[in-house]
């Protein structure tokens, strides 16, 4: 099976590094023209300069700040005044770590703006063109914590669960336009974000970082952290014609971490 996304346009959030970057690279490798977006203009420029253009793609970047909702909305609205996309990958940085007793009501509002409102607004903007063309792929990057909450990620647990249930509802509403909406549930991947979370956990518990990592890996049946490239493969499949009958799903990519069905 060879996936071709030639003549397709993709918008990938949080793509300056980690999972988002790997997704952008694989979509481009499959022929899509990719708009990458994140906060670091330097990293985005570096990324698009190295994306393949063998299929005549035209890549571009968009500098956005997910933590400033008003500014983010202006940037996205301006982008969609002159652009349409066939593939939308909603991916943002995660909120700060901490348990339910560590967080206040304002923290949940900030996380809601970061993880939920940005996703819904971007999707609303993208849907105009998708509905007009009667084609679209919406992929929301979520977490395994929506099925089995992680004790030190109260904000992410709560708000990403809202994204997943919203996505399920969205899939029902847009299916008639040949638009799919799916969520990927992220396990433990070898990214800077995971290293930051593990470092914070090791510090709070007063144990070595290696001990935290070994504890995590003991729960992963395949015995390793995921490679972001593997994530890019899954998203590229969901963005392709081969996945046209897959919608409203939550697909774990976790090396078997989830114990629930």
For the CA atoms of 49, 43, 197, 234, what is the dihedral angle to 10 degrees? -30
In the prediction, which pLDDT does 191 show? 87
Predicted confidence (pLDDT) per residue in 84-133, tens digit: 999 999 999 888 888 899 999 999 999 999 999 999 999 999 999 999 99
Which residue ranges does the chain devote to CATH 3.40.50.720? 9-187+227-253
From the CB of residue 166, how many other CB atoms can be counted at a distance below 10 Å? 17
Predicted confidence (pLDDT) per residue in 135-151, tens digit: 999 999 999 999 999 88
Q: Write down the residue that tokens 């990458």 correspond to.
A: 36
pLDDT at 20 over 90: yes
In the prediction, which pLDDT does 159 show? 97
- Secondary structure (DSSP) of 158-209: HHHHHHHHHHHHHHHHHGGGTEEEEEEEE--BSSHHHHHHHHHHHHHHT--H
pLDDT-derived band at 162 (thresholds 50, 70, 90) equals: very high
DSSP annotation of 72: H
In the prediction, which pLDDT does 13 show? 98
User: How many Å apart are CA 239 and CA 167, to the nearest integer?
Assistant: 15
Angle between helices 154-174 and 118-133 (to 10 degrees): 20
Alpha-helix residue ranges (DSSP H) falling in 95-153: 105-112, 118-133
Two structure tokens written together for 242: 């081969």
User: How many Å apart are CA 37 and CA 247, to the nearest integer?
Assistant: 25
Q: What mean pLDDT comes out for the span 54-67?
A: 95
Question: 47 and 70 in contact (C-beta within 8 Å)?
Answer: no
Instruction: List the one residue out of 127, 159, 128 whose CA is nearest residue 142.
Output: 159
Find out if CATH 1.20.1250.20 is the number for domain 9-187+227-253: no
**φ/ψ bin of 181: left (φ > 0), alpha (ψ from -120 to 50), beta (otherwise):** beta
User: How many Å apart are CA 93 and CA 40, to the nearest integer?
Assistant: 13
- Proportion of the chain in helix, strand, coil states, percent, rounded to 5: 50, 15, 35
């Amino acid at each position: 099976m060879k996936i071709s996304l030639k003549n397709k346009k993709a918008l990938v959030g949080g793509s300056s590094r980690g999972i988002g970057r790997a997704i952008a690279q694989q979509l481009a490798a499959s022929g899509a023209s990719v708009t990458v977006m994140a906060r670091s203009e330097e990293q985005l420029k570096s990324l698009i300069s190295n994306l393949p253009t063998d299929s005549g793609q035209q890549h571009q970047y968009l500098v956005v700040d997910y933590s400033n909702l008003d500014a983010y909305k202006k940037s996205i609205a301006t982008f969609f005044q002159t652009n349409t996309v066939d593939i939308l990958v909603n991916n943002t940085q995660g909120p700060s770590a901490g348990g339910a007793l560590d967080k206040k009501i304002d923290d949940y509002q900030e996380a809601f703006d970061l993880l939920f409102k940005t996703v819904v607004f971007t999707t609303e903007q993208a849907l105009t063109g998708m509905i007009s063309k009667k084609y679209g792929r919406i992929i929301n990057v979520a977490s395994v914590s929506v099925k089995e909450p992680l004790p030190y990620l109260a904000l992410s647990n709560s708000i990403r669960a809202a994204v997943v249930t919203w996505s399920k509802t969205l899939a029902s509403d847009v299916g008639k336009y040949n638009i799919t909406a799916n969520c990927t549930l992220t396990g433990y991947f070898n990214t800077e974000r995971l290293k930051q979370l593990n470092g914070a956990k090791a510090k709070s518990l007063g144990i070595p970082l290696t001990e935290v990592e070994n504890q995590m890996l003991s729960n992963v049946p395949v015995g390793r952290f995921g490679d972001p490239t593997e994530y890019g493969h899954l998203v590229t499949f969901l963005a392709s014609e081969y996945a046209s009958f897959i919608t409203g799903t939550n697909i774990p990519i976790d090396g078997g971490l989830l114990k629930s069905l």
